[in-house]
Amino acid sequence: RGSPGAPRAMAAEAASGSDVEAFAKSDARRMLHVVYRVGNLEATKKFYTEALGMQVTRERDIPEEKYTNCFLGYGPETSNFVVELTYNYGKDKYDIGSGFGHFGIAVEDVAKTVEKIKVLGGTVTREPGPVKGGRSIIAFVKDPDGYMFELIQRAGPIKEPFAQVMLRVGDMDRAIEFYEKAHGMKLLRKSDRPEQKYTIAMMGYGPEDESTVLELTYNYGVTEYTKGDAYGQIAIGTDDVYKTGEALRAAGAKITREAGPLPGLNTKIVAALDPDGWKTVFVDNEDFLKELE
Ligand code: GSH
């Protein structure tokens, strides 16, 4: 740090770095949806609507590209988080990998929900009861492709039942710093469970009981996971994909798609990978609302 003339340049760089970081924190961001692939759209829709109580918000078939998208969640996409299912014509099987964790769904009565899911023929992989090492009542069920859903008991009324997207990371401090800087998220809660040998961190844009959060899990000593080809990415709304792109770059994200409009759709996006290789797509808020019209 010391050749004459350098300080000014470095100060300017630092200022722009902290500027975009400040933008990331003040930007109107919201978790929009999570994108992943399923092998049988009808079976998944049936499970999500009947067993998990979701509603279809949108569906689009793109025959030229040989795929169908179906969006499901617990409220309108203008306010609620949804899943964006992708069905690729003729492909009925995917590898979920070991890195994806689960989708967390808040319900008022886990035992009752599990009973209903059993009656419907759903697969329950973990019976209702207190989480190991904690107090909240949880259960795990599996969807037709093997994606795990954690049912989490919460007192009603539940504003956003779609509570979490859980992803495993290889270095917790690195991941938290990244999601704070690059995504402008807040660390809402961090708990260490030494008995169970894991740490979790809840990261997001609003309180856990009101909005969908990203749950990061670090298992002691595990630094690598497989990603498979099933899980895709989360999408987050932004007022400025270009500034978001700068903030991502400043935070060391690997940009996989430069900021700009998508050909054909005109929706502006920017996409990047986190240090573990998990992808996020930031979508222009106004363009997103136009897509919903
Ligand atoms: N090794 C676990 C993983 O990678 O999924 C660590 C995360 C974990 O255990 N999470 C809790 C859980 O699944 C929920 S916060 N508990 C299982 C249980 O209580 O049966």
Read off the CATH number of the domain in which 110 is found.
3.10.180.10
The answer to whether residue 206 is domain-embedded is: yes
Please work out whether the CB of residue 101 comes within 6 Å of at least one atom of ligand 1. yes
Identify the active-site residue in 77, 84, 150, 215.
150
Peptide bond into 7 cis (omega under 30): no
Q: Which residue's CA is the nearest one to ligand 1's atom 11?
A: 131
The answer to whether residue 204 is domain-embedded is: yes
The confidence score (pLDDT) of residue 264 equals 80
Contact 240, 223 (CB under 8 A): no
The answer to whether residue 3 is domain-embedded is: no
5: left (phi over 0), alpha (psi -120 to 50) or beta: left
Cα–Cα dist 158/154, whole Å: 7
The answer to whether residue 15 is domain-embedded is: no
Contact 201, 176 (CB under 8 A): yes
Please work out whether the CB of residue 168 comes within 6 Å of at least one atom of ligand 1. yes
Q: Which residue's CA is the nearest one to ligand 1's atom 5?
A: 101
pLDDT tens per residue, range 200-253: 999 999 999 999 999 999 999 999 999 999 999 999 999 999 999 999 999 999
Please work out whether the CB of residue 196 comes within 6 Å of at least one atom of ligand 1. yes
Please name which of 243, 102, 225 lies closest in space to residue 166, comparing C-alpha atoms.
102
The answer to whether residue 14 is domain-embedded is: no
The confidence score (pLDDT) of residue 3 equals 46
Q: How far is CA 57 from CA 42, 220, 252, in A?
A: 15, 39, 35
Q: Which residue's CA is the nearest one to ligand 1's atom 13?
A: 131
102, 103, 131, 189, best to mutate for ligand 1 pocket (most atoms within 8 Å of CB):
131
* Total number of domains constituting the chain: 1
- Give, in degrees to the nearest 5, the angle at Cα 214 between 212 and 215: 120
Low-confidence ranges of the chain (pLDDT < 70): 1-16
Please name which of 184, 174, 179 lies closest in space to residue 21, comparing C-alpha atoms.
184
168 forms beta bridges with: 217
Q: Which residue's CA is the nearest one to ligand 1's atom 14?
A: 131
Ligand 1 mean position, distance from CA 86 (Å): 27
The reply to whether 293 belongs to the active site is no
Domain span at residue 269 reads 30-292
Cα–Cα dist 212/161, whole Å: 8
**Exposure b/e, 234-265, CB count within 10 A at least 16 = b:** bbbbbebbebbbbbbbbbebeeeeebeeeeee
The confidence score (pLDDT) of residue 265 equals 81
Please work out whether the CB of residue 197 comes within 6 Å of at least one atom of ligand 1. no
The answer to whether residue 20 is domain-embedded is: no
The answer to whether residue 2 is domain-embedded is: no
Please work out whether the CB of residue 57 comes within 6 Å of at least one atom of ligand 1. no
The answer to whether residue 266 is domain-embedded is: yes
Q: Interface pTM (ipTM) of the complex?
A: 0.90
Q: Which two tokens stand for residue 266?
A: 């005109």
Please work out whether the CB of residue 67 comes within 6 Å of at least one atom of ligand 1. no
Three-state DSSP at 112 gives helix
- Rounded to 10°, the helix 6-26/241-250 angle is 120
SS3 of 233-245: the string is EEEEEECCHHHHH
Q: Which position has the token pair 């978790």?
A: 31
Ligand 1 mean position, distance from CA 69 (Å): 30
Q: How far is CA 256 from CA 86, 224, 272, in A?
A: 20, 21, 5
Give the count of beta carbons closer than 10 Å to the beta carbon of residue 193. 14
Please name which of 218, 170, 222, 168 lies closest in space to residue 191, comparing C-alpha atoms.
218
The confidence score (pLDDT) of residue 26 equals 94
